[in-house]
Amino acid sequence: MAPLTIPLNDGKQIPWLGFGTGTALYSKDAEAAIRVAIANGIVHLDGAQMYQNEDSLGNGIASSGKPRSELFVTTKLGKLPEGKTVRDTLVESLKKLKLDYVDLFLIHMPIHHEGKLKAVWKEFEELQKEGLAKSIGVSNFRIKDFEELLDGANVVPAVNQIEYHPYVYKATAPLLEFQKKHNIVATSYGGLTPIVRQKGGPVDPVLASITQRLTKDVGKNVTEGQVLGLWLRSQGIPEITTSSKEERVKEYVATQTLPDLTPEEVNAITEAGSKVHHRAFCKWLDD
């Protein structure tokens, strides 16, 4: 089955389902997990300098035997070390990843480059010209960060990777509206927060009833995690997720073949999520 993809504003495509090496794998050896993800059909692999495991992500890619052309690999710029350029850090990342280029290079945190976003982005544009990064984008950006970066930019970021799930829907709506105007795709991390970090909220009963309906309709077990994935898919938002368990990886992959939620179901999840606000990561985004 060909992976489901979402078009980017630079003419490239991003696979809808991504496997991340942060959160559970942060600063841990990710090689085995990456091999499992690739063996089960995940081709979009999401790393970062800050996760301190790009070398094991590279080992997982190398030992998987998957052709480079079939993979979509992301890494992200951390804090810039004194005396180093953005290019220096990407060249180091590529050495660790054992790759000649990444498919997507992101500014990980705007707060790491206060007052310097424009200069950093100029370097990103050069790296894209050079072919070291096929697409360039950002992560954890607010509207004000975009306004600063876009002023004088030649390339509009292709992606903004953000924490996105029903409990931040309301807080994120203005940002998504802004991104839509500039054709910037949002990709989601922390998408399973309602079931893994915030059980007992208003989204629970809605997920339970949709899970039941889908399980009956497709004749096989559908999980609440898959329903949250379908909620993201309904909005054209790629899901970056992670797990050390193979059965969980298989579950994520199977989401791609499930039928769409009805518009009513999408709205029911959104409305329930809008009743409370819960951000699990980067709390400064709410300031």
pLDDT in tens, 198-252: 899 999 999 999 999 999 999 999 999 999 999 999 999 999 999 889 999 999 9
List residues forming the annotated binding site for substrate: 108
Are residues 234 and 15 in contact, defined by beta-carbon separation less than 8 angstroms?
Answer: no
Percent of the residues in the chain that have a pLDDT greater than 90, as a whole number: 88
* Least confidently predicted of 22-31, 98-107, 222-231: 22-31
Query: In angstroms, how far is the first alpha carbon of the chain from the final one?
Result: 43
Contact 242, 33 (CB under 8 A): yes
Does the structure show a pLDDT above 70 at 52?
A: yes
Does residue 50 register a pLDDT over 80? yes
Q: Of all helices (H) and strands (E), which one includes residue 14? A: strand 13-15
Residues 105, 74 contacting (CB under 8 angstroms): yes
Contact 70, 43 (CB under 8 A): yes
Main-chain dihedrals φ then ψ at residue 244, nearest 5 degrees: -95, -5
**What pLDDT is attached to residue 26?**
67
Q: What is the pLDDT of residue 28?
A: 75
Cβ-proximal residues to 274 (8 Å cutoff; 6+ apart), any chain: 166, 169, 170
Annotated binding site: 108
Residue with the larger pLDDT of the pair 90 and 53? 90
Average pLDDT, the chain: 94
H helix or E strand, kind and range, residue 135:
strand 133-139
Q: Extract the runs of DSSP E, i.e. beta strands, from 142-276.
A: 159-163, 185-189, 239-241
The secondary structure element, H or E, covering residue 76 is: strand 72-77
Question: 161 with 23: CB under 8 angstroms?
Answer: no
pLDDT attached to residue 3: 67
Phi, psi of 132 (to 5 degrees): -75, -25
Active site amino acids: 51
- pTM (two decimals): 0.95
Q: Which CATH number fits domain 5-193+235-245: 3.90.420.10, 3.30.210.10, 3.20.20.100, 3.20.20.80?
A: 3.20.20.100
Residue 127, pLDDT above cutoff 60 = yes
Which of helix, strand or coil describes residue 151? coil
Domain locations along the chain = 5-193+235-245
* pLDDT, mean of residues 82-110: 97
